[in-house]
Copies of this chain bind each other. A is one copy, B any other.
Amino acid sequence: MQDKNILLTIAYDGTNYFGWQKQDNVKTIQGEVERALSNLFKEDINIRGASRTDTGVHALSQLALLKHKTTIPIDRLPLAINSFLNTKEIVVTNAIYVDESFHPQNSVYKKTYQYKIYNAPFLNPLVRNYTEFVHKPLDIEKMRQASSYFLGEHDFKAFCATGSMAKTTVRTIYDLTINKEDNIITIEITGNGFLYNMVRIIAGTLIDIGHNKKQPKDIEGIILSKDRQKAGKTASASGLTLYKIYYEV
């Protein structure tokens, strides 16, 4: 019997994990999911994620490819895996069959991240792990004006953590919206791919604009400079959530 190609959707609270990717001696999302799968199938299981997320970063729909001969009905598989995950911090929310040609990175053509900022004089304990706390008021209109400069294909080297191994730093941003509700500002950004720390550096730069330290039109020059020093700080991991991954089957 041949292995089936199974695509899992996984939601997680990354607060207490050293990111997605499996590492020795630390608790990671991939490590925990593989441990659950290994216990379920009683053999060593490896999965391949669509997107690495850093320490403290969350996901509502990470994707991971599982190859296995399992006879568990596909619609029962999430519950079966969840019963072996001894935590509510990681939940498999969907499982579907995909073609043998499916590749967890190459088949992905678009991703959406959300970056959330809690903007009020005092921290809100209920969202402390899922937002960046910014106590000085942010000018959301200026942030919106700035957002348009990110749209389209650009070399985003200025918005990439130094030391990144990316072959090219050119990426396309399809959409960048900024909304506010109950003191929470949500930056939602969709692109064909993101460089290392790119969303968090964009968020940090938009925070500077909201504080009038940079002007919306400065974004153009920052992009052209290809200089990481010209962009804003890397905003904290807690505010970032991998929201959706679009793929071709």
Residues of chain B within 8 A (CB-CB) of A90 are 125
Residues of chain B within 8 A (CB-CB) of A241 are 126
Interface flag for A60 (CB, 8 Å): yes
Residues of chain B within 8 A (CB-CB) of A88 are 123, 125, 128
Which of B12, B94, B125 contacts A89 (CB under 8 A)? B125
Residues of chain B within 8 A (CB-CB) of A130 are 126
Residues of chain A in range 95-146 having any CB-CB distance to chain B below 8 Å: 121-126, 128, 130
Chain B residue nearest in CB terms to A10: B125
Q: Mind listing 22 A-B residue pairs with CB under 8 Å?
A: A11-B122, A11-B124, A11-B125, A11-B126, A12-B125, A13-B125, A13-B126, A58-B125, A58-B126, A78-B122, A82-B122, A88-B123, A88-B125, A88-B128, A91-B122, A91-B123, A91-B124, A91-B125, A92-B122, A93-B121, A93-B122, A126-B130
Closest-CB distance, A8 to chain B (whole angstroms) = 12
Q: Considering residues A121, A122, A125, A128, which has the most beta carbons from chain B within 10 angstroms of its beta carbon? A: A125
- The main secondary structure of chain A at its interface with chain B is mixed
- Asked if B126 contacts A60 (CB within 8 A), the reply is yes
User: Considering the chains assembled together, what is the distance between the CA atoms of A125 and B78 in angstroms?
Assistant: 14
Copies in the complex: 2
Closest-CB distance, A77 to chain B (whole angstroms) = 12
Residues of chain B within 8 A (CB-CB) of A82 are 122
Residues of chain B within 8 A (CB-CB) of A126 are 11, 13, 58, 60, 130, 241
Residues of chain B within 8 A (CB-CB) of A123 are 88, 91
Residues of chain B within 8 A (CB-CB) of A92 are 122
User: Considering the chains assembled together, what is the distance between the CA atoms of A136 and B180 in angstroms?
Assistant: 30
Residues of chain A in range 55-101 having any CB-CB distance to chain B below 8 Å: 58, 60, 78, 82, 88-94
Residues of chain B within 8 A (CB-CB) of A93 are 121-122
Residues of chain B within 8 A (CB-CB) of A60 are 124, 126
Closest-CB distance, A219 to chain B (whole angstroms) = 30
Residues of chain A in range 19-38 having any CB-CB distance to chain B below 8 Å: none
Residues of chain B within 8 A (CB-CB) of A91 are 122-125
What 10 additional pairs, Cβ within 8 angstroms, besides A82-B122, A90-B125, A126-B241?
A: A11-B125, A13-B125, A13-B128, A60-B124, A60-B126, A88-B128, A89-B125, A89-B128, A92-B122, A93-B121
